[in-house]
Structure formats: structure tokens, C-alpha cells
Amino acid sequence: MCGRYATTRTAPDLAALFEAYDATDAPLAPDYNVAPTDPVPVCRVSASRQGRVIEVARWGLVPSWAADRRSGARMINARAETVATARAFARSFAGRRCLIPADGWYEFAVAPAGGHGKQPYFMTPRDGSPVVFGGLWTVWGPADDRLLTCSIVTTAAVGELAEVHDRMPLLLPPERWEAWLTAATDLDALLVAPSSGQVEALEIRAVGRAVGDVRNDGPELIAPLAGAAPLGSTRHAAAPDPVDLTLF
């Protein structure tokens, strides 16, 4: 799954990246430890603007039929295998898809033999470019209390990423952005797994365990961990990430 990520680019930078209108009403603060229910930038198609816009959404999709917004903390990810049929996500997948930019994302793997707890890794492009996740959006609440929320689509991990976790975000290269935002037919084609080339372009970087606490933030969270064991010495971890919902 993807339970933590980093996003530090400004709204003007994202507007240029996606050729979109900047509809944010305040500067975007860099966030090196995005956690469920945090505000995050997204790119979606706006009917009123008749084109792409950059907006801020709450991470954790709250379906329009939900009794309250608390359900969003459990709906940060939508599995590609069931996104078209799951009650919470199907309507958004059919017509409310978005692009979610990031510097990279974290996964927590079982520590190497002799270690304790979990070892966090940060997956990020080696060339410093952003990664873009396939996302879903919806609006919850009445017009005077409108809440834009989003979820990240995940798929089976590809290549070396599977040594850290069995799931990964659905990564979309630029040539897939337009279809993801606008396609109305052949939706299964949108869920094609990332290519091996995309995965090979990523650095899988061991980082310090401070990222496990949602109260921590700053560029030091993505700094390489000195003396970290090679990735191959880490056993596969399928257990949930250490997300403490009581802190949100």
C-alpha cells in the first residue's frame, strides 16, 4: 500500500507540469510526511473551468453517501483489481479521476535479520523528477461545507519494489495523463501496471525511522540512512504500515 509520501512542489510548478489552472487559494507548504487525512495537491478536470485545475484535496476518499468524513482515513488507497466494482470507488473511477503528484513514497519493510521493528524505504526518481500517482476524487458534504477528497490507486508491486512491499501506487508517465483524466471507455486499459523501465528509474532508499511518527516533517526524513543494509537482506513485509490514526 501507499500510506505515507512526500510532496514539496509549489502550485505554480504543478500548474506548469500539468498545464493546468492554479485553483489553490493559498501557497502549498512542503510536506515530507504526508499521512492519511492530510491536505494534498491534485490535478483534475474541472467542468466549470473546462480544463485541468490544481486543487487541494483531503487524502482519504469520503464517498458522497458516507455519514461523516471519518471514513476517509480508511480509504486512502483503492486497489486496481477492484476499483471498478468497489462501492466506495466505482463511481469515481468511472468519471472522477485525478493525478496526484509526489516526490516519492514510503514503504515499511521487516528489518533485516537481527534488527527490530520495520525499516522504512523512500521510493523516488533518481533524476529528481516527480512521480505521478493515478488517483480518484469526489466531493462530500453540502455546498456550504464542501470537502474535496481523494484516494491513490495501487497495484501489485513490480520488479525490485516487491522486495519492500507487495503493493505500489499506480505510477503514470506523462503520456498516460490525458487518458487517465478524460477516458470514458476502455477503462480497464487505464489500470495497466507501471513498466519495468519506470520502476528501474526509481531509487529505493533506506531512510530513518522518524518518518514513522506523523508529527515529524522536514527534508531529513528523505535523507539516505547511513550504513543501511542492502535491500536484498530485507524480508518481504505484508503487514500494515505503522500509521497511528489517533494522531490525525
Residue in 37, 9, 2, 43 with CA at minimum distance from that of residue 23: 43
Does the residue 196 lie in any domain?
Answer: yes
Residue span of the structural domain in which 131 resides: 4-239
State residue 221 phi and psi, 5-degree precision. Answer: -70, -25
Quick check: 72 and 245 in contact, CB under 8 A?
no
Does the residue 139 lie in any domain?
Answer: yes
Does the residue 100 lie in any domain?
Answer: yes
Residues forming beta bridges with residue 100, ordered by sequence position? 133
Residue in 55, 29, 22, 79 with CA at minimum distance from that of residue 138: 55
pTM of the predicted model as reported, rounded to 2 decimal places: 0.90
CA distance 159 to 6: 22
Does the residue 79 lie in any domain?
Answer: yes
Mean pLDDT, consecutive 10-residue segments, the chain of 248 residues?
Answer: 91 98 95 97 94 97 85 85 96 97 94 73 97 97 86 96 95 98 96 95 96 97 86 48 34
Does the residue 247 lie in any domain?
Answer: no
Q: What CATH number should be reported for the domain holding residue 227?
A: 3.90.1680.10
Does the residue 59 lie in any domain?
Answer: yes
Q: What is the pLDDT of residue 236?
A: 41
Q: What b/e string do you get for 34-54 counting C-beta neighbours within 10 Å, with b at 16 or more?
A: bbbbbebbbbbbeeeeeebbb
Q: What is the pLDDT of residue 135?
A: 98
Cα separation values, 182 from 12, 33, 243, Å:
23, 30, 33
Dihedral sign for Cα atoms in the order 72, 74, 79, 84 = negative
Place of cell 520488479: 159
Q: What is the pLDDT of residue 141?
A: 85
Helix (H, G, I), strand (E, B) or coil at 174: helix
Quick check: 64 and 87 in contact, CB under 8 A?
no
CA 164 to chain CA mean position, Å: 16
Average pLDDT, the chain: 89
Number of structural domains, the chain?
1
Compute the residue count for the chain.
248
Does the residue 246 lie in any domain?
Answer: no
State residue 9 phi and psi, 5-degree precision. Answer: -80, 150
Does the residue 8 lie in any domain?
Answer: yes
178's CB contacts (< 8 A; 6+ apart) are none
Amino acid code (one letter) for 136: L
pLDDT tens for 132-141 read: 999 999 999 8
CA distance 59 to 56: 9
CA 104 to chain CA mean position, Å: 8
Q: What is the pLDDT of residue 79?
A: 97
